[in-house]
Structure 1
């Protein structure tokens, strides 16, 4: 196949030559992939030389070119050559029949910057005595292209399937399969005249794939679109943050009981920022509690029904975070309970990290202790990999963090967040401690970009991701351990713009999303926008 050197061809035109050139009125069809059909076409034959010339033009733009390939298994049609004008996209193609063999002969003509396939049919006749005759445009019909940008999002037992509009399409058919390369069945008997379809006949827990065809005014279907797997999302939520944490725990331990429970304040985040690693290591959920026993009754019911008395309960933070009343109540129930708390968030965090018993040379994470977003964005990834999360002030490396670095000599330190939350001075101070440590900063313009950068950096090679609101901490905190168990990143979103997150999902081929929190946190419309192609 001759190829133009300008650019990779974006579409294909194909022609079919029926019969040999020595027969009267053979038929030539020229297929073009172009927003406008091939025009000004003339066809000439010379019977004495068995030669056909197709001449025409197509609007490709200045400097563009076309190419041709003749596909002839019998060797009966030779491609002689082409004449191309770089201006206005004019072309001339010449074919020659070497022998009088009847049959179908295929040729492909390729053009650049083309969008929609068209078909024109031409008939011509020749004289057995030789000479040439002009061709006539006997018919024209649009051959619509296949739909693109197909997207399918499952919620419950229905899927919203959508696709891009196709020029000159009268309608569309939707095909569905349960395997990518399986048999696709048409699921709408009547043409769909819009670019979306609600498929309501699904079975929960089944993976579905969709293909779409466009149909022209003559009833001719286009080729099927590329097979698209349906994405799905599962929302885990409760009446409030405490109930949501219980719902997350039930999902995390749907088929077995936990080996421990980690309790954290549902009112503030600092003491729990390193808690995901502790919960993951001890096969425990993170449950949020209120200010009093009465506020936290549902949590105690979950513990009573799911945790045996010989198991352990960890309480994160001092009495200002989780009250002594709650601690005493749990103790009275006969549980083995341990409080991990210090004089402030930094000491509490260090004590949590100390409970992880991290080995030397293990990478660590440093995050701001003044906001929750960056630490929670990396929490599941850190848990999966066994990296401790140490929180720090903005401007200077805290003494306990420096001592910890000196103690375990991490091979790599991940600094999460931009210099507005963890200054460049901290990197300098780390290098002063050990110049051989590899420092990797993962920070964007805001918490959402940082969260996306983290998920990109640690591509978990999975089709699932967990999303949580970036405006508040409870759902991401409770869900961080579930995300780790699902081998999933925690991706922060808001309800205004998910374009960056959407690019990430498409790049990583994410088809399943766990949504932490109710509609008040993340709207279903936001999730649908995120999952649409």
Structure 2
């Protein structure tokens, strides 16, 4: 997404805050001065080549105090530009030099560096058709960004494709799978931090930051082909996004020898010009975003939900009615009605409601609450289906529902919760996969209902004794190929898993140590989502209705407690980085403190 578009989509609080430009104080002034002196004396642009000369210019700018030498080197770079800047990455590096020295990147040595970068971007967004890479893309992004040129959507999207979702590292696909590369990750963190007003760029930068923090050695450096070079790329990028690099600065200074140069080998005795030109940056307290004119010293990675909406009332009946009112306009085909006093019969009905895009309203055994009555009348439904038998919802209530709705009211029920679930499952067509959860607790089944409803699949219930006969009969009749079991062995035993395996080819368990972890694990398994529904895990009604609405939007349900967001839920909330958050329930279910925590939560923090 381009920066212009991302600003339109993000709330003011979710934009990266870029600090004004200022010359950073050196992290080690003495070491910086010595290293700069070594570079100024030893760089020969005729033999070093344009790439190494550009690195030397950036190093001397970072150190300061070598203006005449920088001017001479830039003059040589302008002469070399026509032969060197023939690819996007090469033009990107020279464009950074131009921005850092106040030169015109559109006429640098008679080369329009910005146009070279733009023309190098392929249809799929790579910035070098010959050798597409995260490293090359990063130079293109930095070159464009430092010259206030638009960074195309496709270039950002292609760049994010080089990032490992599991670790946050950038790298490449090797013969044995993904290969993380600290150099690419460090340079890309620099690049993405510069365009961090883009939501996806900021989230990607945060993941790269966390990976680099985790992989720093105890001595303070990062492993690479030449550790000083790698560390010189990584550490300044981390400092830009607020990570302390004092240990790194000490380590780099320890690699300095008597002539001021830095060594290519850890603890070596021979200076190396290439190592010194990149290794000087953490000593100088500068990065590629800040060096020279018009740079940015710090970037705050800050991405929050665009909207956090509470839908609730003073009780569960009002909450269900409010959720329906928010989601549906008259006229609807079907309204599902369940008891708000017990979970057993209605446990799996929310999956069916979500699949059919139908609202769920709650009643008491012998009474239709006012909120339910008003919403049912407003919906003007074609039919009303009561989930559960007379013990759950009395015949008197069924008659009241018929009078209020002015339409036929039918029941979808069984002799017990297991038969009811099987009968609900019978309303689904073309079923090849089913979810299974315990019928003795509600949390796992409700977590499964959102996923099941989104996929058009039923939820079946089992008990301590194994697979009930009615469930066996359903499986024997439908013959699905796979089953996903929600919950650990205390909820659904291994013996039950084996029994289910007699009816399907594949049985997979998704579980955590508690209901919050299980719901989060299921969400993580299903991948990405722009939205998320939060409901209390301490009672069933809000999650029951919430699962139906989550299924309609193909969003997961995560469970919270009244006064806190459990760690597992928070971790999955972070991973999703959802734009829209729907909180189901009033303050008695989910406190204002939790809602505010969710509203203020920085996904990139």
2:378 to 293, 299, 305: 305
Q: Compare CA radii of gyration and give the structure with the larger one.
A: 1
TM-score (norm 2): 0.54
Counterparts in 2 of 1:112 and 1:359: CA distance versus 1, 3 Å: farther
1:234 corresponds to which residue?
309
1:275 corresponds to which residue?
349
Counterparts in 2 of 1:447 and 1:45: CA distance versus 1, 3 Å: closer
1:469 corresponds to which residue?
536
| Counterpart Cα distance in 1 of 2:483 and 2:285 | 57
Answering whether residue 369 of structure 2 is matched by residue 296 of structure 1, we say yes
| Counterpart Cα distance in 2 of 1:486 and 1:45 | 61
SS of 2:336's partner is: strand
1:442 to 489, 510, 514: 510
Structure 2 unaligned segments of length 5 or more: list them. Answer: 1-23, 49-58, 64-74, 82-259
| Counterpart Cα distance in 1 of 2:567 and 2:599 | 11
User: What CA RMSD, in Å, does the superposition of the two structures yield over aligned residues?
Assistant: 4.3
TM-score (norm 1): 0.60
Counterparts in 2 of 1:43 and 1:422: CA distance versus 1, 3 Å: closer
| Counterpart Cα distance in 1 of 2:438 and 2:453 | 18
SS of 1:74's partner is: helix
Answering whether residue 524 of structure 2 is matched by residue 456 of structure 1, we say yes
* Kept in 1: contact 2:286–2:297 (CA 8 A): no
* Kept in 1: contact 2:263–2:276 (CA 8 A): no
2:285 to 103, 118, 127: 118
| Counterpart Cα distance in 2 of 1:90 and 1:256 | 80
Name the one with the larger helix percent: 2
Q: 1:496: how far off?
A: 3.4
Q: 1:43: how far off?
A: 4.9
Q: What aligned pairs does 1:220-369 form with structure 2 within 5 A after superposition?
A: 231-253=306-328, 255-293=329-367, 296-308=369-381, 311-333=382-404, 334-354=406-426, 357-359=427-429, 362-369=432-439
2:564 corresponds to which residue?
496
SS of 1:272's partner is: coil
Counterparts in 2 of 1:517 and 1:90: CA distance versus 1, 3 Å: farther
Counterparts in 2 of 1:84 and 1:259: CA distance versus 1, 3 Å: same
1:486 corresponds to which residue?
553
| Counterpart Cα distance in 2 of 1:45 and 1:409 | 76
Higher relative CO (Cα under 8 Å, sequence separation at least 6) belongs to 2
| Counterpart Cα distance in 1 of 2:391 and 2:397 | 11
Q: In the TM superposition, what whole-angstrom CA distance separates every residue of 1:113-172 from its partner, at most 9, and x where no partner exists?
A: 98796259xxxxxxxxxxxxxxxxxxx99x99754552244xxxxxxxxxxxxxxxxxxx
Counterparts in 2 of 1:314 and 1:82: CA distance versus 1, 3 Å: same
| Counterpart Cα distance in 2 of 1:112 and 1:392 | 62
* Kept in 1: contact 2:25–2:284 (CA 8 A): no
Q: What aligned pairs does 1:64-213 form with structure 2 within 5 A after superposition?
A: 72-75=77-80, 84=263, 86=265, 92=271, 118=285, 146-148=297-299, 150-153=301-304
Q: 1:246: how far off?
A: 0.6
Counterparts in 2 of 1:371 and 1:147: CA distance versus 1, 3 Å: farther
2:502 to 424, 432, 443: 432
Counterparts in 2 of 1:416 and 1:33: CA distance versus 1, 3 Å: farther
Counterparts in 2 of 1:375 and 1:45: CA distance versus 1, 3 Å: closer
| Counterpart Cα distance in 2 of 1:71 and 1:512 | 53
Counterparts in 2 of 1:484 and 1:46: CA distance versus 1, 3 Å: closer
Q: 1:314: how far off?
A: 0.8
* Kept in 1: contact 2:520–2:558 (CA 8 A): yes
* Kept in 1: contact 2:510–2:518 (CA 8 A): yes
